[in-house]
Amino acid sequence: MSAPAPAPAPPMAAPRVGLLYDDRMRAHATPDGEEHPENPERLRAIWRKLNAEGVAPRCVALKAKEAEDKYIASVHSKSHIKLMKEISSKKYDATRNKIARKFNSIYFNKGSSESAVLAAGSVIEVAEKVAAGELSSAIALVRPPGHHAEHDEAMGFCLFNNVAVAANYLLNERPDLGIKKILIVDWDVHHGNGTQKMFYNDPRVLFFSVHRFDYGSFYPAEGDASHCFIGEEGGKGYNINVPWEHGKCGDADYIAAWDHVLLPVTKVFDPDIILVSAGFDAALGDPLGGCCITPNGYALLLTKLLGFAQGRIVMALEGGYNLRSIANSVCACAKVLLGDKFTFNAPEMQPFESTWSVIQAVRNELKTCWPVLSSKLPENVSLRIRPSPSEVNASSDSESDSEDVAELLPTVASVNVIEVAGDAISEHLSKMKLDDDNLSVKTTSSCSAAEQHLVDSVKVQNNASVVLTKKISDLSLAWRSDLSRTDVWYASFGSNMWRPRFLCYVQGGKAEGMSIACYGSRDTSSPKGTMWKTVPHRLLFGRSSTPCWGTGGVAFLNPEINYNEKSYVCMYKITLEQFNDILFQENRLVLKDGKDGNVVYPDSPLIGSSEIKFISTNKAIHLEPIKDSWYSNVLYLGNEGELPILTMTCPASDIERFKSGELPLAPPSETYAATLIRGLVEGKQLDADGAANYINACAAKGL
């Protein structure tokens, strides 16, 4: 007699996925109905897509809930909470717009206060239900977004930091839920500056942000988005930044960051819950992000996270401004959480070479904190060369990109399967080698040195300042030979006043106090002369941090002449070729990207002989190819021995942003200030006390 057949295994329970949507968060809008990327239609587009695909009915519907002040106060100041909660009231009707202008990229209307409190409370609501086991995972469709909002400041479309409020709530208000370690994954294309600062010393929170950095020029354009910022004190190693060097990064680049940085660290960290700051502005077709993640790319990134924290994942909406892209991407992620499968077909998974340079730098920075990142990486990977400047600078909602999105999105959004057959993607990515000496960059130049680039390379603005408009790739490498025969005086007013630090820009390496080494110039010759002057320009200290000097402001010279001001400059007689190499390095345009670890410079100058002629008349050139970089303005300070005196500083528009508070004025760090003092003392301009008083007075004086 045969044994009875075993009873079939009971079917696995379908995941209970929460979906929070509330029309009240659409009340936050521009005050006069003007167009803005962060607008109420973002939520409606997602909601329509989820219903059209039959996703919304399969989820547990949740309504928004206002956050209590005491929970918001875990990350924000009382004054900030008071202002955000009252800004929509009648008493601010006359001043609401004026107050908004004091912030960086913020608007208010009569619906802003309610929307902000609902957004913060909604993320608390869904996080609590997932942590308690009532839901397996959840998506909070909230706005305004939150990850840029800092302790005492709204910025970047964000009023309250929704994810940070929810994380603090789980850790500090609900210990009974057993949440002791939280992973926050921020895949918004912009750095999550606010969230980073709120948990920078906290080892209970592992914060991971992958974002465009563009050498510090991409919003929010602060140095603390660099890979060098890894946390402090007990939180050292628990802050991970993966900063892309340019746009056009796509699925392969993000998957590589997951496989070679995020996932190995997450396995060791072993979080109890994962909160995703789910911005979709790195999606293909986004008008602000300029990157190329597909909906299936987001789905795969999310799938890779489901293996941790028992799949307890909370997604909170952040950015994403192409309505079609954001709707399709959220829909693809919702299907993943519901357990649907999909096929990820990627025959050519080729990340950028720059991606490997960044990943290697991140691993090197963190390997002492996370030994799992010390292991040798695989070899023999096919990599793409970095995009040209014209490709990167092209609008991401250009005609060609729009066609790509129109062609791609209907297909990927309708696919609801995740089968990576034979682990083809993992196998391909496992072959990647990230060592610096296996990177390569191919540069091309199709222009001759003799090509005209004079009159039409410069635009004279109404304020008589000059804007350089030629592209970095317009000239051939023959320029180095030409400019090596032209001498100029480079006037330094910051750390380069100390000669050992200045020589790093010429000969490479780093001086005492520096965290990052310089690449040096192609011409490593020492300066042919040195002298000191004072100039009628105001010295100021701005921005909040840099990878080289850490937290604190760095020196800028107000481009406006003011004969009541006197600033010290140390002048070095160098070639115009060397001046361009210093300008490249100040604006982070020099890369170590080659197969043999070679240093790669831009293939044309920013300042040539023709620009010298223009600048001597117009006194300044704002360099359009790097217009968003910190030192994109070259000033003419006169002549010395018939040679022009040049320096580099911020544009006049940044001075206005410093005045308004949009950009921070900040005193220099002790290390940075000490470098300036050494320059002034060793240059015999001031004694130590006098130099310190000079620096302190400049840092303390308002604009």
Check if the beta carbon of residue 314 is closer than 8 Å to that of residue 160: no
Q: Which residue matches tokens 């015999």?
A: 684
Instruction: Say which residues have a Cβ less than 8 Å from residue 430's Cβ, sequence separation at least 6.
Output: 259, 378
pLDDT at 453: 33
113: pLDDT strictly greater than 70: yes
Residues with Cβ within 8 Å of 324's Cβ and at least 6 positions away in sequence, in order, are 45, 285, 405, 409
Q: Which residues are catalytic?
A: 148
pLDDT-derived band at 442 (thresholds 50, 70, 90) equals very low
Which residues contact residue 25 at a Cβ distance below 8 angstroms, ignoring those fewer than 6 apart?
43, 64, 115, 118, 119, 122, 141, 142, 143
**Which of residues 393 and 457 earns the better pLDDT score?**
393
Question: With 0-12 CB in 10 A as exposed, 13-18 as middle and 19+ as buried, what is 32?
Answer: exposed
Find the range with the poorest average confidence among 414-423, 511-520, 574-583: 414-423
Q: How far apart are CA 493 and CA 502, in angstroms?
A: 11
For residue 664, is the peptide bond before it cis, meaning its omega torsion is within 30 degrees of 0? no
Reduced to 3 states (helix: H, G, I; strand: E, B; else coil), residue 400 is: helix
85 closest CA partner among 158, 160, 194: 160
**Model pLDDT for residues 648-669, shown as the tens digit of each residue:** 999 999 999 999 888 899 999 9
Rounded Cα–Cα distance for residues 252 and 238 (Å):
25
Query: pTM score, two decimals?
Result: 0.64
Contacts of 680 (CB under 8 A, 6+ apart): 497, 568, 686, 690, 691, 694
Query: pLDDT band for position 348 (50/70/90)?
Result: low
Q: Given a cut of 70, is residue 696 above it in pLDDT? A: yes
Residue 702 confidence (pLDDT): 83
Report residue 503's pLDDT band, with 50, 70 and 90 as the boundaries. Answer: very high
Question: What local confidence, expressed as pLDDT, does residue 45 receive?
Answer: 97
Can you tell me which residue has the tokens 């940075």?
A: 672
Q: How confident is the model at residue 424 (pLDDT cuts 50, 70, 90)?
A: very low
d(CA 680, CA 678): 5
pLDDT tier for residue 87 given thresholds of 50, 70 and 90 = very high
- The residues, ordered by sequence, that sit 6+ positions from 29 with a Cβ below 8 Å of its Cβ are 36, 39, 40, 109, 111
Q: List, in order of start, the domains of the chain with CATH numbers.
A: 17-373 (3.40.800.20), 479-700 (3.10.490.10)
Examine the pLDDT at 447 and tell me if it is beyond 90: no
Split at pLDDT 50, 70, 90, the class of 628 is: confident
Whether residue 378 has pLDDT greater than 80: no
* Residue-level pLDDT at 43: 98
- C-alpha 651/C-alpha 220 separation (Å) is 17
- Read off the pLDDT of residues 277-336 as tens digits, 9 standing for 90 and up: 999 999 999 999 999 999 999 999 999 999 999 999 999 999 999 999 999 999 999 999
Separation between Cα atoms, residue 103 and residue 144, nearest integer Å: 15
Among left, alpha and beta (phi > 0; psi -120 to 50; other), residue 684 is left
- pLDDT(420) > 50: no
Give the pLDDT mean for 89-98.
96
Q: If you average pLDDT over residues 375-397, what whole number do you get?
A: 66
Q: In the chain, how long is the greatest CA-to-CA distance?
A: 111
Report pLDDT for 604. 86
Check: CB of residue 490 under 8 Å from CB of residue 574.
Answer: yes
Q: Identify the burial level of 8 via C-beta atoms within 10 angstroms of its C-beta, where 0-12 means exposed, 13-18 middle and 19 or more buried.
A: exposed
427 has a pLDDT exceeding 50 = no
| Residue 5 confidence class, pLDDT cut points 50, 70, 90 | low
DSSP per position, 19-70:
EE--GGGG----TT----SS-THHHHHHHHHHHHTT-GGGSEEE---PPPHH
**Are the beta carbons of 152 and 79 closer than 8 angstroms?**
yes
| pLDDT higher than threshold 50 for residue 408 | no
| Predicted confidence (pLDDT) at residue 222 exceeds the cutoff of 90 | no
Q: Determine the pLDDT at residue 551.
A: 86
- What's residue 345's pLDDT? 67
pLDDT tens digits for 598-626?
788 888 899 988 888 888 888 899 998 88
What pLDDT does residue 616 have?
86
Percentage, residues of the chain above pLDDT 70: 84
Pair 126, 302: CB distance under 8 Å: no
So what's the pLDDT on residue 33?
87
**For the residues of 97-136, what is the DSSP string, one character each?**
HHHHHTSBS----TTHHHHHHHHHHHHHHHHHHHHTTS-S
pLDDT in tens, 11-63: 567 899 999 999 999 999 999 888 999 999 999 999 999 999 999 999 999 99
Q: How many CB atoms lie within 10 A of CB 556?
A: 26
Dihedral pair phi/psi, residue 582, rounded to 5°? -65, -40
Query: Rounded CA gap, 590 and 443, in Å?
Result: 13
Mean pLDDT, all residues of the chain: 85
Which residue, chain included where needed, has tokens 């508070």? 661
> Has residue 88 got a pLDDT over 90?
yes
Q: Is the pLDDT of residue 439 over 80?
A: no
Average pLDDT over residues 441-460: 31
| CA nearest neighbour of 30 among 130, 139, 157, 123 | 157
24 class by beta-carbon count within 10 Å (0-12 exposed, 13-18 middle, 19+ buried) = middle
- How many other C-beta atoms are found inside a 10 Å radius of the C-beta of residue 701? 13
Confidence of residue 445 (pLDDT cuts 50, 70, 90): very low
